[in-house]
Chain A
Amino acid sequence: MKFVVLWSDALFFLLLAVAVASGIWASRVEHLRLSWRKVGQSQVGMAAATLLLAFVAVALLDSLHYRERLPGDKETYAVEVRSALDALLTGLRTRTEKTYSAPLATHSFAKETLDGEGRDFPRLKHGGAHLGENLAAHETDIAHKAVQGLGMGLVAWLVLWLLGAPLRRAAPHLAWSAAFATLLVLCLAAGAVAALAQGYHVLGTDKVGQDVLYLTLKSIRTGLLIGTLTTLIMLPAAVFLGLLAGYAGGWIDDVIQYLYTTLNSIPGVLLIAAAVLMMQVVIDMHPEWFATAAERADARLLALCAILGITSWTGLCRLLRGETLKLRELEYVQAAQALGVSGLRILSRHILPNVMHIVMIAIVMDFSGLVLAEAVLSYVGIGVDPNTISFGTMINTARMELAREPMVWWSLAAAFVFMFVLVLAANLFADVVRDAFDPRAVK
């Protein structure tokens, strides 16, 4: 086994490290701690945060990549790059069927000509295979497995509840009840799904027989990466240029304003389309840059993040410029100037901490929009690599399925429901964060 660190993995870990570090920093600064406490005291905020953490956990597992060692004496490795999540879900990944099958089905969705028996729905290779000929037990088996799974989920939740006791004691005023209630729902759902997934395809299979549950779980990483890396990539430039334009004024201000007005005036989708088209040409012309298909898809994902970042930093930059213009005239900044503190130091010590709440709000507000944008862009054909599993590619491949007779609804439904839960949690969390950090927020 050989560990592989893709560029997006490295950036994702970096992002998590930054998040943890800024959390520690925030806990030492009085007003930030108060704001975060407000988030923690909100029922909605804690519930949404719990859901988001669950998504992050899945994405994190999916970011630990490795290449398996091939049997034999020579040190050779498999071409496919797998992740820890793939290893956990080996069953789901490998138990593929021939084509569509409905959720929890035992028979294929399409009729086939069977040897000597005319046309009928063939049995699935894996879905319900443990039932053997005893098909009458199908429903009781599902109920049995589901109840078993729910029980397991409950046990897992109880363990977590006990493990969380010190946390609750350390910070008794936070809305832990909401967090653990969400966790209970998550545990029960995960338990039931896990138990059922042993014998069935819980969310059915897609056109080429892949398990839809596996696809949706894999999509989470792509969505989270697009939502967070884009902001991470654009953040330094937006913050630096915004502060500089507001503080320095004069021709520097003019140049920076010109830069972002120009970028802003190009319609976003078109700029993205043009840049993605160009990037595709570059990637296709240089196949030698990438050792594996995963690396190429990864490069394309990162490039997409960068392109989305270029089109979306302008809003934050303008906000920061305006705020800096205001702060520049305040007495404490003028006092620092009079004491001879250098411009860079004033920016970093006196102005940056006072605009951090704007940055914070922008990060959480942008996230959900970016996740939704990924689906649309992939659908239009200017999103992630077609081989990257994402909500957008799932919807794209399933685009004609509702028109089938009878229709195939499960791939689309799974993608939309998972995306909805992720985006809803992000939106709710963003609202709570904004209310806690924005001094102007309407109470």
Chain B
Amino acid sequence: MLAYLIRRLLYALPILIGVNVITFALFFIVNTPDDMARMQLGVKRVTPEAIEKWKVERGYDKPLFWNGAASGTDKATETIFFGKSVRMFMLDFGRADDGRDIAREIGLRMGPSLAVAVPVFVLGMFAAISFALLLVYFRATYLDFAGVVLCVAMMSISGLFYIIGGQWLVSKVWHLVPISGYAEGLTAAKFIILPVIVSVLAGIGSSARWYRTIFLEEYTKDYVRTARAKGLSERFVLFRHVLRNALIPILTGAVVVIPALFMGSLLIEAFFGIPGLGSYTIDAINAQDFGVVRAMVFIGSALYILGLLLTDISYTLADPRIRLQ
């Protein structure tokens, strides 16, 4: 097990390096720092000095990979690739365009992101599984059919509609909660309750339908027939046998997104004014702050790889037949 984990972690390294190379290529080779400077400073009245100044301020004035002018190890370290990409492995993300430290900012904004993402994850999963169980319990009836139709209709509605409609109905017409904003501590509840409900609603259609197919597939298995032949009640079969076995694919499918919860949701956070990592990313995209986008790409992929690892571990915990070696 331990050997397996270590090997997996070592596998993760080339992937992270690959991600780094891709983002580096996107940000510095497809577009030279000069292009970016001109873009940021406005295309028209821009002098070479202004571009130089912009580049020096952000550390883009060095060579890409190899600094022949420097001495010793500085030949490799005094470059853009080292300064902007390799440093990320030491969790040093540099500064955003507004001068703030990106790592510190990420630490500050993680809390609000989690405050929304964790309830969404837990409640969303609970609601979808309950709904799917209900449909499966009444399988092959009109209730099941109507439920599936409802799921398909709900997943055909744009996520933007849930957000805009929810804000309009709950905040503007009913005046129940503020439209957007955030506060520390317990007062945060009134700000996060609407985003949580909206996200759960927006996601329930597709996940409930998916869980339903998993449950139904489980129902065709032999052990279910055996359980019924033993004379167990339908409810007992559903909760004790089918639910337990179906939880394996459901849980392992869900584990992969757990680390990504830190990233928050771009859309929800931007709409509801929650100062989390999602809105940080959106602001960076709109302000064309490349440093922040690069840092978020790096963290996102690291968390995804962590999620894959956790998935493997959760397999062994949920299903004793699987052994990692």
Chain A residues with a Cβ under 8 A of chain B:
258, 261-267, 269-271, 273-275, 277-278, 281-282, 284-285, 368, 372, 375-376, 379-382, 391, 395, 399, 402-403, 407, 412, 416, 419-420, 423-424, 427-428, 431, 442
Contact = CB atoms under 8 A, between A and B. Distances in A.
Interface string B11-50: 0001100110011001100110001101100010000000
Given A262-B19, A423-B158, 18 more contacts: A258-B15, A262-B18, A265-B301, A266-B19, A266-B297, A266-B300, A266-B301, A270-B297, A274-B26, A274-B294, A278-B26, A282-B30, A381-B286, A382-B285, A391-B158, A402-B168, A419-B158, A427-B152
Contacts of A375: 158, 160
Contact of A273 (B18, B31, B156, B285): B285
A396 to B, nearest CB: 9
A262 B22 contact: yes
B293 A274 contact: yes
Contact of B160 (A274, A278, A395, A442): A395
A412 B156 contact: no
B292 to A, nearest CB: 10
For chain A, what secondary structure do more than half of its interface residues adopt (helix, strand, loop), or is it mixed?
A: helix
Nearest to B29: A278
Nearest to A264: B304
B52 interface: no
A243 to B, nearest CB: 23
Contact of B296 (A262, A270, A282, A402): A270
B35 A281 contact: yes
Contact of A265 (B167, B270, B296, B304): B304
Interface in B254-298: 260, 263, 266-267, 270, 281-282, 285-286, 288, 290, 293-294, 296-297
A262 B15 contact: yes
B152 to A, nearest CB: 5
B91 interface: no
Contacts of B159: 372, 376
Contacts of B26: 274-275, 278
Q: Which residue, of A277, A424, A442, has the highest number of chain B Cβ atoms within 10 A?
A: A277
A269 B290 CA distance: 15
A82 B182 CA distance: 47
Contact of B164 (A269, A278, A381, A412): A412
B157 A420 contact: yes
A282 B31 contact: yes
B161 interface: yes
24 contacts: A261-B15, A262-B15, A265-B15, A266-B300, A270-B293, A270-B297, A270-B300, A274-B297, A277-B290, A278-B31, A372-B158, A375-B158, A376-B160, A380-B267, A380-B270, A395-B158, A399-B164, A402-B164, A402-B172, A407-B168, A423-B156, A427-B152, A427-B156, A442-B220
B165 to A, nearest CB: 9
A428 B152 contact: yes
Give me the 6 closest cross-chain CB pairs, A-B, nearest first: A267-B300, A262-B18, A424-B156, A265-B301, A423-B156, A265-B304
Contacts of B213: 442
Contacts of B266: 269, 380
Contacts of A407: 168
B100 to A, nearest CB: 20
Given A274-B23, A380-B270, A416 B158 contact: yes
B133 interface: no
Q: Which residue, of A281, A381, A424, has the highest number of chain B Cβ atoms within 10 A?
A: A281
Contact of A258 (B14, B43, B297, B304): B14
Contacts of B152: 424, 427-428, 431
Contacts of B260: 267
A423 B156 CA distance: 5
A80 to B, nearest CB: 24
B324 interface: no
A415 B115 CA distance: 32
Given A266-B301, A278-B26, A368 B156 contact: yes
B160 to A, nearest CB: 6
B57 interface: no
Contacts of A271: 297
A107 B300 CA distance: 52
Contacts of A431: 152
Contacts of A285: 35, 38-39
Contacts of A263: 22
Given A402-B168, A416-B158, A442-B217, A267 B285 contact: no
Given A424-B152, A424-B153, A431-B152, A265 B19 contact: yes
B138 to A, nearest CB: 16
Contacts of A265: 15, 19, 300-301, 304-305
B318 interface: no
Contacts of B167: 402
Contacts of A382: 285
Contacts of A275: 26
Contacts of B156: 368, 420, 423-424, 427
B76 interface: no
B155 interface: yes
A262 B301 CA distance: 8
Nearest to B267: A376
Given A262-B22, A264-B304, A442-B213, A379 B220 contact: no
Contacts of B155: 427
A412 B23 CA distance: 36
B256 to A, nearest CB: 11
A420 B35 CA distance: 40
B19 A379 contact: no
Nearest to A263: B22
Q: Which residue, of B158, B263, B300, B304, has the highest number of chain A Cβ atoms within 10 A?
A: B158
Contacts of A381: 285-286
Contacts of A274: 23, 26-27, 293-294, 297
Contacts of B224: none
Nearest to B23: A274
A256 B12 CA distance: 15
Contacts of B161: 416, 420
A274 B30 CA distance: 12
Q: Which residue, of B15, B19, B26, B156, has the highest number of chain A Cβ atoms within 10 A?
A: B156
Nearest to B266: A269
B313 interface: no
Nearest to B260: A267
A277 B296 CA distance: 15
Contact of B31 (A264, A281, A416, A420): A281
